[in-house]
Amino acid sequence: MEKNLNQLLKWSIEAQAAASAGQSHHSHGTSSPGASNNGPATGTGAVATSPAPQATGPGPRPIDPEVLASLFGGPSEAELMKAAMEVITDPSPETTLENKLIAFDNFEQLIENLDNANLLEKLDLWSPLLSLLEHEDEDMRFHAAWCVGTAVQNNEKTQERLLAMGGVPKLVDLAMKEGESEKVRRKATYALSSAVRNYQPAMDVAAEEMHKRGHEVLVNNGTKVDAADMDKVDEVIEHLRGKAKAEAKAEATAA
């Protein structure tokens, strides 16, 4: 709060300085020698007066909305994240699936911000998020995988946390699960792609889990898949996507 008050104080000082500068320009405007105090001058000696010069230069910087929110009772983004997850995981029938999915959309937008994604651990939101990968509703599983992928994209800190929480095997299971919808499998594959790129520990665990399920593309002369080799990672991910598409097509044909 002290930091926010200091920001607000600085903004207030800048605003007052800009206002004072404008008043100073106005009060020091020059009057014409031929001007009369009793009314407008006329005749050959009349000189038209010019408007007072306007203040120039940058005005005060716009104040950060987060500062105003914290000062005047508005929810912080961390509080919005927690509130969204409360809606998403609310078991009461009054909270509809539609409302849960709206909350999921809001949650995903919030964790696009790297700092907010890093707050997942501090706010104890990893456990409920990962549990939703096993939700009975297809759309809920889809959005859970989407949020996981967003949270770990280009972020080693959250990649590490996902691995520590056992999330990588969950994503592999969802991405390769027979009978799962193609859209959920593809979104889980996206999340897995984000989880393993440039993070070797997650790539090693994912490789082991996929090999257990017959993902032979991971075998390359007995060497590990290099998490920093984007072409090789793409090969693994495309294999998963192709497998999901082929199995979905086979199921549709059989039905």
Confidence of residue 140 (pLDDT cuts 50, 70, 90): very high
Quick one: which of 5, 120, 20 has its CA closest to 64? 5
> Structure tokens of 166?
């056992």
Residue 184 is assigned to a structural domain of this protein: yes
SS3 110: helix
What CATH number is associated with residue 131?
1.25.10.10
Q: 180 CB contacts (<8 Å, ≥6 apart)?
A: 141, 174
pTM of the model: 0.71
The secondary structure of the chain in percent helix, strand, coil, rounded to multiples of 5, reads: 65, 0, 35
Mean pLDDT of the chain: 82
Domain count, the chain: 1
Residue 231, token pair as written in the block? 């072409």
Q: Is residue 17 part of a domain?
A: no
User: By residue range, what is the domain housing residue 143?
Assistant: 66-254
> In this structure, is residue 41 part of a structural domain?
no
Give yes or no for residue 21 having a pLDDT over 50: yes
Categorize the per-residue pLDDT at 145 as very low, low, confident or very high, splitting at 50, 70 and 90. Answer: very high
What CA–CA distance (Å, rounded) separates 117 from 189? 19
